[in-house]
Structures are given as structure tokens and as C-alpha cells.
Structure 1
Amino acid sequence: MKTDGKPGAGGGGFDALDRRLAHALQLDGRAPFSRIAEVLGVSDQTVARRYGRHRSSGALRVLGLSDARALGEVEWMVRVQCAPEAAVTVAEALARRPDTSWICLMSGGTEITAVCRAASSDHSDALLLEKLPRTPSVVGVTAHCLLHEFCGGPQGLISKSGALTDEEAARLGPPPPDVDPAADPVVLDDADRRLFAALARDGRAPLAELAAVTGWSPTTVRRRLAELRATGALYYDVDYDLRKFGYGAMVALWLSVAPAELAAAGAALAEHPEVAFAGATTGPNNLFASVLCRDVRAVYTYLTTRVAALPGVRTMESAPRIRQIKGPGPLVAGSPAVRGRRR
């Protein structure tokens, strides 16, 4: 990420090497430190020391996550309206669920946003009607099915940073494969699920540790990791402290876009360096984006320039995030999300 006044420039955050390391880990979270060091032009010890320090402080960690599309699962963008005094309690209850991610308290302190996953369309009704918190403090729930993802997951915000050149990125290996929508869903057995649970806590967990968790040999673990990644079922993400990258404002955008322009508007959003995630959803607001900016003035500039230029936008609703309860992986003490940060 360039140091020209854009997010990440100075201010006691990550330096240029830290940002290059984060970009390398986003491309391949399990790449050997020796290979990353060669690309970055530093020693193995420097890379290991930097990552170890940031992971210990909760500023940055690698996660190995499953892609809902590859598994045939359905994702829902859920908005929960509740009494202000109960918002944190409800959000924390949601965060403890294994089928939720990106739990955030939004402006006003009465709305919680969350991403919920159901095993299939047949299971969505049980998730939305039975498993979400049922308490008098919850006064309303709206759910929007995620129909298409334009950016996010393996192609996250760090990948747009420009911290690595195209040539350097290529040296770290091919980009994560796109999930084939026509392919049969990847079927996981119990050992696979234990593998994913371990990777979600630490995407760089040693092979010996993963072998102990799954009951496989290290060779089998290595082969299964390669298989899962080749299908797109497994991807690596970097969970990080937003402030270290210079981001001081996160805003959720709900856009209503003319159907004929939805694909074009979503593709355009995906190219914006401010957009961490963009997806088409059901509902009157059919395009959602998670936007990260340096401060509220930068948010205003973004909305009145890049968003204003999107094709087919009829209406826009924006909501600042005031606290993040849970990020992309499980709720782990000391993670960037638990410490009140990121999507």
C-alpha cells in the first residue's frame, strides 16, 4: 500500500514491509516464510519475527476458511433491530454461534448486522426462524440472501493494496481458484470439519498439529489441503487490525440498483480500493458493500464520487459501524475482531 496519504500511510501503523507481508499472506496464507522472504527481499528470520509479533499482539493473523459456495451452503445478510440496552448481549450471543461471522454493532446501537450460513436452502428457514436470538429485546429481523459475491473472501481488500507488484504476487503462486457454480458441492467428512476448525483458529497451524486433530498422516493432511484449495472450498484470509492500515471508518452500504445495471454496478464496486466486500442480495436494497476509509471525510468523498458514478443506483442507505464483535473466523480471545475492529 502506497505511503501517499492513503490508508496505511504512517500514523504508527504497519510500515511498508508489514503491508507487503500481509499481502503475501493474503495470497497464500501457508506459504513458507522462506518463499515470502525471497519475494520481499528480506531474511526468513525477519518475516517470521514480524508475523510472530503481529500475531501475538492480535494485529494480524492468518485464517483458513471454508467457502460457502463450494460447499453448497447459503449465506444470509441479517439485520437485527433490538433495544439499545440489549444490543451487545444479543450480538455476543450471535457471535458464539459457529454458523455466524462478521457480527457488527451499527450506528445508533440498535442494529446488529451479521452473516449467517445455512447448510442449504432447505435449512435456511430453521436458521432464520428458530436459531436466531428470540427475546423481547429483539424487535425486528430482516434477512437478505446473498446471491452473488463480487469481491471479498480470498479476494479481500489487502489484495487491492498494491503492496506487492504483479510480478511479486505471481512468484507466490497462482491466485485462488474461482468456485465453479456448476460443480457438485464439496462434501466434508468429520475429519475435514476438524481440519477446518483448526485452520479457522490458525491458518498456519503446523502439519503435525493438523495431523493430530484429523487422525491423518502429515502427508495426507498436505494432500487434502491441496485438494480443498483446488476446488475453492478452502481459502486463506488475513484478519487484521484496521487501525494498523490507517482505516478509521467502516460503513455498510445498502444500494437499490436497477436490475439491468446490477451486474455492472457490482463489478464496478469490486474494483474500488475502499470496498472490502460487495455482493448482490435479495430485498429492496439489492447490492451490499462494506467500505473502509481513513476517516468520515474520506467516506463523504467516496460516496459523492465513486458511488455517485455507479450505474443504475436508485437509492442508498449507509450505516457506520461502531463496534465489531466477530470477524471472519471463530470468536477467539485476542483476535482483531474481538478487540473491536474489521469488514
Structure 2
Amino acid sequence: MDDIDRRIIAALQRDGRQKLSDLSTLVGLSPTPLARRIARLERQAIITGYAARVDQEKLGLPLNAFIFVELERHSRDAVTAFETGLRRFDEVMECYLMTGTRDVLIRVVAADLAGFDLFLEDGLMQMPNIRSMRSSFALRTMIRRDALPGV
């Protein structure tokens, strides 16, 4: 990756819907070489997709819960099975394998506490290999960035 690739990525992180001609002017390349570079960045999976940012509150999903999970078993197969099971739940927005005393951190969205409780009781608590769980609720989002630093 060179400086032009980084400028392309930075510009697309700010606005993934901009016209090729506008992006071309912004990064200092004509449209054809720019299109080839973008295609290469996509093939190399440096650019992994394009999405719209959506206001979850306006869609009726204002609750953000973070759940720390401690697993019973830590083998590769056990962690993979847990990850596969979590993928069934649309409420799970992010999931991270962690270091320290808690093995997994999950971010869940819900319409309200009743919806979150339903997800816990009928979903997460039914999964095998969970030793313990601790939940925290976000009061508000203080910082949210979509653009990676240093690009």
C-alpha cells in the first residue's frame, strides 16, 4: 500500500458513496487508475465492504448491552462452536475474544429491557459452554468512529 491507497481508503471511510469523479479529484488520480486501485483493494480484502450508518434509536433499538462471558472450556473447537452459536442471534452486533478473566465480550442491541431479557433467557443462556456472564448497559455513546486512525 502506498500513500495514494491510504488517501483512497481515508476518503472512502469518510464517504463510501462519493462519485468516482469526486474521489478521483480528491486523491489526485484519473478515474480509470482509481477504479483499478479500488478493485485491487477490494480483491485484497483491504476494503471489505460498504454499508450505511443507521441510527439504531430511530429504528427502535436504543438499548446497548455489553456482556462479558466466561467459558467453561477454551479449546479451539469449543470457542468456534460458541462463535457459531452466537452468529444465530441478530441482536449480537459485535463479539470479541478477550484476554484476562473474561473470555468473550459481546455487544447486543435491543428495543428495551424486556427484549434484552428475552435474548438472554431464550438465546444466550441456552448456549452450552458458558460458566458465567456479566452484563452492563451503555447510558449513551460518547465516541463512535468508523474511520480507522493513521490512514
* TM-score category (smaller protein): 0.7 to 0.9
Shift of 1:238: 2.3
Q: Distance in 1 between matches of 2:112 and 2:123?
A: 16
Secondary structure, aligned partner of 1:322:
coil
Give the SS at the match of 2:141. strand
Residue 220 of structure 1: aligned partner: 33
- The separation in 1 between residues aligned to 2:132 and 2:87, in whole angstroms, is 19
Q: Is the 1:211–1:221 Cα contact (8 Å) retained in structure 2?
A: yes
| Runs of at least 5 residues in structure 1 that lack an aligned partner in the other structure | 1-187, 331-343
Counting aligned pairs with the same residue, the percent is 28
1:243 aligns with 2:57: yes
The number of residue pairs the alignment matches comes to 144
Runs of 4+ in 1 over 2 A off after TM superposition: 325-328
Change (3 A) 1:252 1:198: same
Shift of 1:270: 1.6
- The question of whether the paired residues in 2 share the 8 Å contact of 1:252 and 1:321 is answered with yes
Does 2:94 match 1:280? no
- SS of the residue corresponding to residue 69 of structure 2 reads strand
Give the deviation of 1:328 after TM superposition. 4.2
Shift, 1:247, TM fit: 0.3
Partners of 1:326 and 1:223 in 2: CA distance: 34
Match of 1:290 among 104, 107, 111: 107
Q: Do residues 209 (structure 1) and 22 (structure 2) align?
A: yes
- Which of 39, 45, 55 is matched with 1:232 structurally? 45
Deviation per residue, 1:136-191 (Å, 9 max, x gap): xxxxxxxxxxxxxxxxxxxxxxxxxxxxxxxxxxxxxxxxxxxxxxxxxxxx2111
For residue 249 of structure 1, report the CA deviation from its aligned partner: 0.8
Question: Using the alignment, how far apart are the partners of 1:263 and 1:201 within structure 2?
Answer: 34
Residue type at the aligned position of 1:223:
R
The one-letter code matched in structure 2 to 1:228 is L
Equivalent residue number for residue 259 of structure 1: 74
In the alignment, the residues of structure 1 paired with residue 39 and residue 31 of structure 2 have an alpha-carbon distance, to the nearest angstrom, of 12
Q: Residue 305 in 1 paired to residue 122 in 2?
A: yes
Bigger strand fraction:
1
Q: Do 1:270 and 1:277's aligned partners in 2 also have CA atoms closer than 8 Å?
A: no
Report the TM-score when normalising by structure 1. Answer: 0.40
- Partner Cα distance (2:69, 2:59) in 1: 26
* TM-score (normalizing by structure 2): 0.87
Aligned partners of 1:266 and 1:287 also within 8 Å = no
| AA aligned opposite 1:248 | P
Name 1:323's counterpart in structure 2.
140
Structure 1 CA distance for aligned equivalents of residues 32 and 144 of structure 2: 31
Paired with 1:326 and 1:222, the residues of 2 have a C-alpha distance of 32
Structure 2 regions of 5+ residues with no counterpart? none
Task: Give the C-alpha shift of residue 237 in structure 1.
Answer: 2.8
What secondary structure sits across from 1:205 in the alignment? coil
